């Protein structure tokens, strides 16, 4: 049973990483929608409205990533992962909570840290997924070749 939960932890870690890639993709698409517009009020606003659709998907997917992180924390308990892994999975939740706060500060220079914090989230998720990968072949120590 523990083995299944460890596998589930790995799968959720990979799904989370894919969600992060999508987050970057959607927000870049949103930004380019504005910057490709001609430099006049009407076109910039039209570009913004077009980009807002991508920004909306970015926000929705971000909320979903928060839920996935909660699932990851629960799975780290269920899989009886080492405390270090469980605590670091909890840190992921703190980081995504901070990510949400940074997105709504109202101060662009402060909110911009949202982009840097995202990299910490991606790095830590990548580390936790890689370090606790449950689909490795067991080492064949002690097996003597025929």
**Lookup result for tokens 């606790």:** 132
Q: Is 68 in the site for other proteins (CB under 8 A)?
A: no
Q: Is 5 in the site for other proteins (CB under 8 A)?
A: no
**Candidates 4-12, 47-55, 77-85, 137-145; binding stretch for other proteins (CB under 8 A):** 47-55
Residue 143 makes CB contacts below 8 A (sequence gap 6+) with none
**DSSP character string of 31-77:** HHHHHTS-SSHHHHHHHHHHHHHHHHHHHHHHHHHHHHHHHHHHHHH
Which residue among 33, 76, 81, 132 contacts other proteins (CB under 8 A)?
33
**What phi and psi values does residue 96 have, to the nearest 5 degrees?**
-75, -30
Nearer to other proteins, 112 or 131 (CB): 112
Q: Is 127 in the site for other proteins (CB under 8 A)?
A: no
Residues engaged in binding other proteins (CB under 8 A): 21, 24-36, 40-42, 44-45, 48, 54-55, 103, 106-109, 111-116, 118-119, 122-123
């Amino acid at each position: 049973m523990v083995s299944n939960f460890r596998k589930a932890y790995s799968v959720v870690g990979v799904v989370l990483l894919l969600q992060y890639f999508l987050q970057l993709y959607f927000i870049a698409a949103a930004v380019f929608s504005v910057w490709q517009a001609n430099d006049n009020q009407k076109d910039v606003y039209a570009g913004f409205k077009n980009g807002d659709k991508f920004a909306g998907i970015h926000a929705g997917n971000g909320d979903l990533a928060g839920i996935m992180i909660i699932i990851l924390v629960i799975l780290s308990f269920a899989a009886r992962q080492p405390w270090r892994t469980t605590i670091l999975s909890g840190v992921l939740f703190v980081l995504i909570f901070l990510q949400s706060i940074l997105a709504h500060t109202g101060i662009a220079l402060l909110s911009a840290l949202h982009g840097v914090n995202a990299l910490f989230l991606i790095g830590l998720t990548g580390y936790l997924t890689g370090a606790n990968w449950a689909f490795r072949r067991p080492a064949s120590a002690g097996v003597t070749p025929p």
